[in-house]
């Protein structure tokens, strides 16, 4: 009867975590933060493009967008693999 309580199941689930599970969780957190950082870069490049005039603005916007796509792709790949 005691083994079927929700508290026991929660305790069993918490104690079943290994060091590698913690490493995987931290890696996913870091990669998620990096994807958010890539989105911030895209936003900053857009704001910079509004302030500055130049021929390089479209190239910078393209590079920032490709960086965002790579970061999000890395996040999805990490979710699949880990």
Which value, in Å, is the radius of gyration of the alpha carbons in the chain?
Answer: 21
pLDDT band, very low/low/confident/very high, at 10 (cuts 50, 70, 90):
confident
pLDDT band, very low/low/confident/very high, at 17 (cuts 50, 70, 90):
confident
Token code pair at residue 73: 């792709």
Percentage of residues in the chain having pLDDT higher than 70: 96
Distance from C-alpha of 38 to C-alpha of 65, rounded to nearest angstrom: 8
Give the tens place of pLDDT for each residue, 20-32. 999 999 999 999 9
Say if pTM beats, i.e. exceeds, 0.95: no
Residues whose CB is less than 8 angstroms from the CB of residue 30 and which lie 6 or more positions away in sequence, other chains included:
none
Token code pair at residue 34: 């990096």
Coil, strand, or helix at residue 65?
Answer: helix
The Cα-based distances of 10 to 6, 14, 15 in angstroms read 6, 6, 9
């Amino acid at each position: 009867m005691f083994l079927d309580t929700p508290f026991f199941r929660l305790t069993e689930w918490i104690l079943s975590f290994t060091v590698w599970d913690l490493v995987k969780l931290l890696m996913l957190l870091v990669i998620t933060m990096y994807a958010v950082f890539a989105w911030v870069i895209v936003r900053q490049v857009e704001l910079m493009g509004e302030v500055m005039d130049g021929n390089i603005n479209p190239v910078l916007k393209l590079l920032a967008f490709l960086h965002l796509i790579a970061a999000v792709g890395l996040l999805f790949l990490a979710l699949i693999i880990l």
